[in-house]
Amino acid sequence: MLRDAGISVRTGGIAHDGVDSVITESMHEALGQCSAWIMGIPPVSAALLERYPHLTVLSRRGVGYDTIDVAAVKQLGRVLTITPGSNESTVADQAVGLMLAVARRLFESHRRMQAGETGVLVGTELSGKTVGLVGLGRIARLVARRLRGFDVRLLAYDPYAEQSAAREAGVELKPLPQLLAESDFISLQTLLNDSTHHLINDLTISAMKSDAILVNTARGELVDDAALLGALKAGKLAGAGLDVLGSERNSSLDGVTRELLALPNVICTQHTGGSSREGLARANSLAAQCVIAALQGKPIPASCVVADARKP
């Protein structure tokens, strides 16, 4: 698509040092020659933007941009876009899949069979339970739609959601303490900001049922992983399904992550909630469309724009 639009394409590479995304030397070489960058989740600082003054367009394949210094993007006159809608279905599928996997103890059963152990592990049903959605954005509403077939009661906490949106989604808006106290499954689909950082902590976990299951497919920093680990080890929660972890951004939590991974009632995936073939294809296509429009001076879909230096 980019080449058909007459745009030259360079590829670099993002490596991982075990915790953080790292921009490789080949990527630095490419950025020095490029006007636009289609990216995943590498850190983008003011210093990096100042290093590459010709890099005018940043197109993020995904909806989060908390690894990007948005203020610097605006101050330095660049364009930043995201790809809303591209992987929302994929993440919603992952959230429901983790609920089922933890509740029915699928990974535990798999490991027992690998070890040649006999006996049946008894899990719990998702059907007929109460599910609390923390956040009622697009992904949460898709989770709610998928859960209707399980005949669950749906609660949601979102201080910005309107009653009309809740009714349309088939959920009851509740204060967070009530949602935590009444939910058998709690699924995090909220944004990460100062007010939601470590929203799940010792205090909020203490408000949950001891047989509740926590699922996080949003951002790792929403959960105090050390508090979650302590609660799981003490039997204060039944289990957790985690697609994101605090150690993604904070290497000091590596030990906590290893302990979580060792627990039989925890299933962790590698921030792959949005990584289906279909979701990635949609994200790639929309990211490329944003780059083409920005470089050619054409309008970018309004839903994709985080910052646009061409506008007053």
pLDDT digits (tens, 9 = 90+) for 89-137: 999 999 999 999 999 999 999 999 999 998 899 999 999 999 999 999 9
Burial of residue 27 (number of CB atoms within 10 Å: 0-12, 13-18, 19+)? buried
Q: Residue 312's pLDDT band (boundaries 50, 70, 90)? A: low
Give the pLDDT of residue 249: 79
Q: Residue 18's pLDDT band (boundaries 50, 70, 90)? A: very low
The label of the residue with tokens 């070890």 reads 115
- The residues carrying an active-site annotation are 219, 248, 271
What are the residues whose beta carbons fall under 8 Å from the beta carbon of 61, sequence distance 6 or more?
38, 39, 40, 83, 86, 280, 283, 284, 287
pTM over 0.75? The answer is yes
What average pLDDT does range 57-86 have in this prediction?
Answer: 92
- Name the average pLDDT for the chain: 92
Give the integer Cα–Cα distance in Å for 80 and 58. 5
How many degrees, rounded to 5, is the angle at CA 292 between CA 288 and CA 296?
Answer: 170
Give the pLDDT of residue 163: 94
Burial of residue 26 (number of CB atoms within 10 Å: 0-12, 13-18, 19+)? middle
Of all residues in the chain, the percent with pLDDT exceeding 70 is 96
